[in-house]
Structure 1
């Protein structure tokens, strides 16, 4: 999206907010003191009355019902749990006069996607014992387990805890799993990034004892202690989810601009000099509500390592104190920034810090590639890492490809450290040359393609889970994405674009879990079998795409984009990329 177009979009949103949301208490983004007489959303009431995320979950686990009631459904999100149902069975069960087939999705918190071999194997076992037999890598570098029945929920979370991983913070109105470039390189620069990552995790993690009480049979705390458990989040936590990501300068494999706080680490020799702080990124929108929109994070300031925690904490507090708690569709941090304005935000932050903000550094990106393939001698002991492509992040065995069991056997025997990527892929680190050769042979024997055998188009694709498990999906994504890529591969081959780096992403609804709004080409589900077609983002993740066509049937997606691809081939300038071409000529001529 061009800067002029984005600026115009923000003006429209601000005007709509001013028109529809003013209150006697000072408006839609009133401070906590001003909000007292304002009617807040139902979720805010549930959070306040949850006693720091306890609700009545413990009692509900013993009531014999296969489902949770609504209040507990909302509180469970903070514990990393979404209540879902098998939507493939809805019609059949309804016809039989039966209730939905309820099940839970459990999402872990795995900062930066970093795991040991034993932790990976624990998830693999839990998926088979309690889930649907598959692991799903998310775009926030963690695992989701689908199909967990309510009666197995406590055992599932306890099993994850026993592997020294938590689900607290996997979902809910708090800081979610913090993304970080997954490349396993052992030098001082990367060591300091990992240290800062862990410091942010410690600072932003919820402090409530409810998690241990409910899932791990921890001791009950006294009411007096309970009331003071969340020094950062307070009684009602944040207005909405909050995402943080860390990228090394030049490498945008995590899509750092899609985060509420994006941190770009700058080098000084072998160390981290400091960070450029970006604010206000977010992908979700409500298609029927025109003043909701995706947004790229805005460069705000440069901070030293010593200043990082304080600055990030105060940014979070501003969203906590001023974010919209009346209407959840406007509760993300990006709407606060655009309604109040960046000048107001800079002044507010500087006031809280007691000092002026240093201007951000200029950012230059060389790559957004996902660290695929073999990289030798990246660790201190002389070992290297192997980046593997995982289609849509789904680790599962199928009749023709035993991906899950093959990876399990490899991890069990070679004991690599494991890293999940923000593009839904997998890295095995700490491998010798001999281990790498043996692993690749096993992958080939199991018909699992190495990255050299994966096309440029396919390796840059991403899709969300969607049907049948996601309750928000309006149509298919993951299950039909291979067909989408197949049709576009034929188009790319036809136009000589086989090796052109063009990203295609697909989601089953406008919430944007696969970050579609920064892809070169994206298909965003609107209704059963129909999608909005978005064009013009870029492979480096630094530009929003634009709405090209609305409600396009699935079978017409490829042909809808064909004229733009054909014109690109005929009219591109030397070395011009697809997104730059779309920005230069505009998409109106194709509409």
Structure 2
């Protein structure tokens, strides 16, 4: 750690700092809690500590009131988020998670998330260790996918069409491993690992870990499918002659905020400059270390990297990273983002193999009437000889399909509803977080609301002669940002049951934050507003002008230039 403490925030530490400091490197008394069959939940500090092991304690909020009437505690269970750098998974691994979801989760589903991994929902306490052992048996863990650590590292998920994609993915894995916690708590508690008589040390994360969660991506222009401006640390791949030569480094992005607290706001990441490949891990550790030492441990609402940059100044933070990494950032290399969506359907790779991107609405893989998606994915996994890629847009890529297997994979996908002709571009460009009934932070519906909301927007587009167009539309059930609504052209942020804040003015490339246009309005009021605005877009837009750019140019909403200063203006 640095001896430069002039940027340390003074004051009583948040209670989370006590929890981490007294946890014996994330062990707490989790092992004892597992033996307590009087409750389905975790008690005291362990409720927070299990997050560092990749889990959140939840309950089914749809039945919470009824259970209370019956004098029963909430139906406590855990959601687990796996660690999958770059979102790559083998067919064998897929079949293992499919079988566990079917037999040991309350909902039976596999949920693909915006963090480019999968989640199990509704796992009861007696099955938690089995869950971890099952994942471990096929080479998967959930270490550090939640909590105050660096979380699952995202990487542009376009199928491998060049050496650059493979090289970028390899760096995503290296970054993930380099920034992982070193404690053996995970293996000891969940895998019955041997308790070693050694002193745990956390040379990068620190013994109290980070002040707040930390998110990292590797992105390959021109696709911004990982939404770099939603993340603390981003490596933008720069290639020359088909080879990766280094990265532009972007620091301090984040979308979460708190309703009514203007000291919280979304923020775009700041471009620090270019680095050669050999300095990648040094810079990653330096950014994490600077945030570890300078981040706000007094007020968790202002503890993210974005707030540290705003408080100490970008120049000071950047200079400290350069000092720790022993590097001077070079000027950033030119790059352009042109879109964020996944390329649905078949793409042929340079190696002659094929890649099939399947649209999974809301990322929820489950067998529905007439559309048995979960069974279909399992059937494909049984015959597929390549791998699967989970995308940051909650879709699934069947990658590396040999030419002789292409027809079989397509047949299985169509048979099980994984390929459906006629899905609109609007539906492809829409996304939501999980929200109700499982997320304890949810204020309004998101995943369950999205399909009907998209149908309504499709009708409005058709009404105004815009059926060939679409808007980037995203819904989050609370202001914490999991559905990345604060990088949408139209973003809804849950305020209460059936009520949302309507944000407008992001762009298709994901490089501008939208501003609140209407506060706490109903679903019907949202549609009424969009009806009017889409009508104007149809009549007044310039050639090729996206909806978000139009509402800014037309003066309907002012662009957010510097969210720390003008987001609430």
TM-score between both structures, scaled by the size of structure 1:
0.91
Match of 2:45, SS state, is helix
| C-alpha separation in 2, matches of 1:142 and 1:403 | 17
Q: Per-residue displacement from partner, 1:333-389 (whole Å, max 9, x unpaired)?
A: 0000011111221222233334432222233112322132101234x3x21110000
Residue number among 40, 59, 62 corresponding to 2:35 in the alignment = 62
In 2, are the aligned partners of 1:134 and 1:395 still within 8 Å (CA)? Answer: yes
Cα deviation for residue 585 of structure 1 reads 1.9
In 2, are the aligned partners of 1:241 and 1:332 still within 8 Å (CA)? Answer: yes
Match of 1:283, SS state, is coil
Q: Alpha carbons of 1:415 and 1:517: their partners in 2 closer, same or farther (altered >3 Å)?
A: same
Cα deviation for residue 26 of structure 1 reads 8.0
In 2, are the aligned partners of 1:249 and 1:267 still within 8 Å (CA)? Answer: no
Residue number among 427, 437, 442 corresponding to 2:397 in the alignment = 427
2:432 aligns with 463
| C-alpha separation in 1, matches of 2:155 and 2:413 | 27
Match of 1:266, SS state, is strand
Residue number among 168, 183, 195 corresponding to 2:143 in the alignment = 168
1:182 aligns with 157
Q: Per-residue displacement from partner, 1:548-588 (whole Å, max 9, x unpaired)?
A: 10111123221122222111111111222212112212225
Match of 1:573, SS state, is coil
In 2, are the aligned partners of 1:300 and 1:360 still within 8 Å (CA)? Answer: yes
1:257 aligns with 229
2:267 aligns with 295
Q: Alpha carbons of 1:92 and 1:185: their partners in 2 closer, same or farther (altered >3 Å)?
A: same
Superposed, which structure 2 residues align to 1:26-425 within 5 Å?
A: 29-30=7-8, 38-64=11-37, 65-131=39-105, 132-185=107-160, 187-222=162-197, 225-226=198-199, 228-378=200-350, 380=351, 382-425=352-395
Residue number among 537, 547, 552 corresponding to 2:521 in the alignment = 552
| C-alpha separation in 1, matches of 2:436 and 2:340 | 28
1:539 aligns with 508
| C-alpha separation in 2, matches of 1:229 and 1:77 | 19
Match of 2:356, SS state, is strand
In 2, are the aligned partners of 1:107 and 1:167 still within 8 Å (CA)? Answer: yes
Q: Alpha carbons of 1:398 and 1:84: their partners in 2 closer, same or farther (altered >3 Å)?
A: same
1:522 aligns with 491
RMSD: 1.8
What are structure 2's unaligned runs of at least 5 residues?
A: 559-568
| C-alpha separation in 1, matches of 2:74 and 2:546 | 47
Q: Structure 1 segments of 4 or more deviating over 6 A?
A: none
Cα deviation for residue 186 of structure 1 reads 5.1
In 2, are the aligned partners of 1:51 and 1:235 still within 8 Å (CA)? Answer: no
Pairs aligned (count):
554
In 1, are the aligned partners of 2:153 and 2:173 still within 8 Å (CA)? Answer: no
| C-alpha separation in 2, matches of 1:214 and 1:393 | 30
1:577 aligns with 546
Residue number among 448, 455, 473 corresponding to 2:442 in the alignment = 473
In 2, are the aligned partners of 1:509 and 1:525 still within 8 Å (CA)? Answer: yes
Q: Per-residue displacement from partner, 1:498-554 (whole Å, max 9, x unpaired)?
A: 222411101110111010001111111011110000111112111111101011112
Match of 2:553, SS state, is helix
Match of 1:140, SS state, is coil
| C-alpha separation in 2, matches of 1:563 and 1:555 | 13
In 2, are the aligned partners of 1:135 and 1:396 still within 8 Å (CA)? Answer: yes
In 2, are the aligned partners of 1:410 and 1:439 still within 8 Å (CA)? Answer: yes
In 2, are the aligned partners of 1:44 and 1:325 still within 8 Å (CA)? Answer: yes
In 2, are the aligned partners of 1:386 and 1:428 still within 8 Å (CA)? Answer: yes
Cα deviation for residue 116 of structure 1 reads 0.6
Match of 2:342, SS state, is coil
Cα deviation for residue 434 of structure 1 reads 4.0
Residue number among 459, 476, 481 corresponding to 1:490 in the alignment = 459
| C-alpha separation in 1, matches of 2:82 and 2:557 | 43
| C-alpha separation in 2, matches of 1:510 and 1:46 | 25
1:449 aligns with 419
Q: Per-residue displacement from partner, 1:196-230 (whole Å, max 9, x unpaired)?
A: 112111211111100110001111121xx23x331
Q: Please say which of residues 319-328 and 93-102 is displaced more in the overlay.
A: 93-102
Residue number among 540, 556, 568 corresponding to 2:537 in the alignment = 568
In 2, are the aligned partners of 1:87 and 1:468 still within 8 Å (CA)? Answer: yes
1:15 aligns with none
Cα deviation for residue 445 of structure 1 reads 2.8
1:19 aligns with none
| C-alpha separation in 2, matches of 1:138 and 1:432 | 27
Cα deviation for residue 233 of structure 1 reads 1.4
Q: Alpha carbons of 1:432 and 1:355: their partners in 2 closer, same or farther (altered >3 Å)?
A: closer
| C-alpha separation in 2, matches of 1:325 and 1:331 | 6
| C-alpha separation in 2, matches of 1:115 and 1:587 | 44
TM-score between both structures, scaled by the size of structure 2:
0.94
2:476 aligns with 507
Match of 1:70, SS state, is coil
Cα deviation for residue 448 of structure 1 reads 3.7
In 2, are the aligned partners of 1:107 and 1:142 still within 8 Å (CA)? Answer: yes
Cα deviation for residue 432 of structure 1 reads 2.7
Cα deviation for residue 142 of structure 1 reads 0.6
